[in-house]
Amino acid sequence: MIAASATDDHGFTGLTGFAADVLSALGNVGVGALVFLEVLIPPIPSEVILPFAGYLSQSGDLDLGWLIVFSTLASVLGALVMYGVGAWIGLERAIRWLAWTRLVSRTDLERGAEWFARHGRWSVLFGRLIPGVRSLISLPAGAARMPLIVFCLFTAIGSAVWNTLLIGAGAALGTQHEQLDHVLQYLDWVVYGAIAIALAVLVARRIREARAGRGEVDAGAAD
């Protein structure tokens, strides 16, 4: 089935219980939509969404096969949007614009461009398996006008492998639900801690980039 009805037997409470209810209510197509957004807005982590969705597939809330299909399709569609941006406005302007939005750092954008420059079209295939590169590799590919058929093929293969690994890992964990019952009550604290760490890293990165920018301005003024 494409979308299963939400159930209350996933065992989560608090924040994680709310997240589980949301994913269950969205269904397989909704999870795919989140993956599509993750490609366009990298701070949304597929590394969290997909394993969690895979876990829920074992309680009957979601369907394992459709999760893989819709998440892969969403990855390709999102990559095509990024490809189009790179082809339309060029790599340098795309990097400047995305860095300005603060949704992704210039460092990550330049890393994706460097990866493509170093490895060529194969980076689109293997870059899908590398966090921090996989969502951004489409920009330089579009700017370089990589053949669209090859781009879509490599994106589909790489994304299918990545999504299957994440969803499969969550599904495998879901089969051990009875053994995990006694630790589920502590999962909220793990989530809160992860959010706090992620925010701290984001703030630190922004401060470092701001200081680097001021340093470049000061150096230019001195010259």
Residue 89 Cα distances to 41, 142, 144, angstroms: 18, 10, 11
Rounded mean pLDDT of 18-38?
82
Q: How confident is the model at residue 31 (pLDDT cuts 50, 70, 90)?
A: confident
pLDDT tens digits for range 186-213: 555 655 566 677 667 667 766 776 676 6
Checking if the pLDDT of 7 tops 50, the result is no
Q: pTM here?
A: 0.71
* E strand or H helix that includes residue 30: helix 14-40
Q: Tell me, what's the pLDDT at 173?
A: 80
Please check whether residue 103 is in contact with residue 110, taking contact to mean a CB–CB distance below 8 angstroms: no
Q: Which residue has the higher pLDDT, 186 or 38?
A: 38
Q: What is the C-alpha separation between 42 and 54, in angstroms, rounded?
A: 20
Question: How crowded is residue 112: how many other Cβ atoms within 10 Å of its Cβ?
Answer: 28
pLDDT tens digits for range 75-121: 999 999 989 988 898 888 877 877 676 666 677 777 777 878 888 88
Q: Which residue has the higher pLDDT, 46 or 10?
A: 46
Q: How confident is the model at residue 58 (pLDDT cuts 50, 70, 90)?
A: confident
- Of 44-53, 60-69, 192-201, the one with minimum mean pLDDT is 192-201
Residue type, 202: L
Give the angle 169-175-178 at the CA atoms, nearest 5°: 130
Residue 222 Cα distances to 214, 218, 219, angstroms: 12, 6, 5
Q: In which residue are the tokens 């669209």 written?
A: 148
Checking if the pLDDT of 179 tops 60, the result is no
Q: Tell me, what's the pLDDT at 177?
A: 59
